[in-house]
Amino acid sequence: MFKAASRILLAGTFFAGGYVTMVRPWPTSFTMFDVERQKNLFKYGKRFNNDVVIQSIRQSKAFQTYAQDEGYKLITHSEILPEQMLKNHVSQGIMAGERHLEIDPIVFLDEEGGRIRVFYQLGSDLVGSDNKIHNGLIATLLDEQLCLCGFKKLPSGKGVTAQLTINFENKVDPGSTVILKGQLMEAKGRKCIIKGNIETLSYNDRQEESTKIATAQCVLVEPKWFKYLSWLKVFDTV
């Protein structure tokens, strides 16, 4: 029994020490999207941000429409995450940079309405054997972002993906600019259902030239034990 108690005490000491020295909370406020500020992002990954793509997105009808919607908060994806998580995050570190995810994803988030819109630029190294953007990347982006539609509707504002169903409809070429769209469909107790899709951005605003890449449904749940971690601010979201 003495050995077991010693192990528990030792583990708890290391956890507490690590928490105090390393943990940082998720951001709770953001500055407005700015092209100049974007040039300094990706500091934990490859230093590259495609300014030409950013400018083109800003000039698109889709961007302008979302920007005029007062329900949306306009942020960049790096602002959603604590700094210590960026270098190991898919769209901020592992897959960020030239020929990968070539911009810090531009996010329009409506927490109250359960809506999200995210712009990505998909680089040439994100392809499979068919030289099209890999479905695994598409699935990862959907998993990352759809949950943001539901966090604020859960009792503690925290949750995990319990189920993600994806229908892949079309393959897309590298170099494509795409929009991820998500909408909260149902929120009840510790469970949220969110639907979304990813499609290409039509710069000339002709809807028939947009290609739907995939549609998805995400079931977001808050495990019962999360309520005991309400004091642990590291799990707080935007």
pLDDT for residue 85 is more than 80: no
The pTM of this model reads: 0.78
pLDDT for residue 11 is more than 70: no
Q: What does the H/E/C string look like for the chain?
A: CHHHHHHHHHHHHHHHHHHHHHCCCCCCCCCCCCHHHHCCCCCCCCCCCCHHHHHHHHHCHHHHHHHCCCCCEEEEHHHCCCHHHHCCCHHHHHCECCCCECCCCEEEEECCCCEEEEEEEECCCCECCCCCECHHHHHHHHHHHHHHHCHHHCCCCCCEEEEEEEEECCCCCCCCEEEEEEEEEEEECCEEEEEEEEEECCCCCCHHHCCEEEEEEEEEECCHHHHHHCCCHHHCCC
Whole-number pLDDT of residue 210: 85
Q: Tell me the per-residue pLDDT of 189-205, one tens digit each, with 9 for 90 and over.
A: 999 999 999 999 987 65
Contact 221, 190 (CB under 8 A): yes
CATH tag, 27-235: 3.10.129.10
Whole-number pLDDT of residue 157: 81
Q: Tell me the per-residue pLDDT of 102-119, one tens digit each, with 9 for 90 and over.
A: 998 999 999 999 999 999
How far apart CA 229 and CA 208 sit, in angstroms, is: 47
Q: Tell me the per-residue pLDDT of 15-74, one tens digit each, with 9 for 90 and over.
A: 444 433 444 444 443 344 444 444 444 443 344 678 889 989 999 999 999 999 999 999
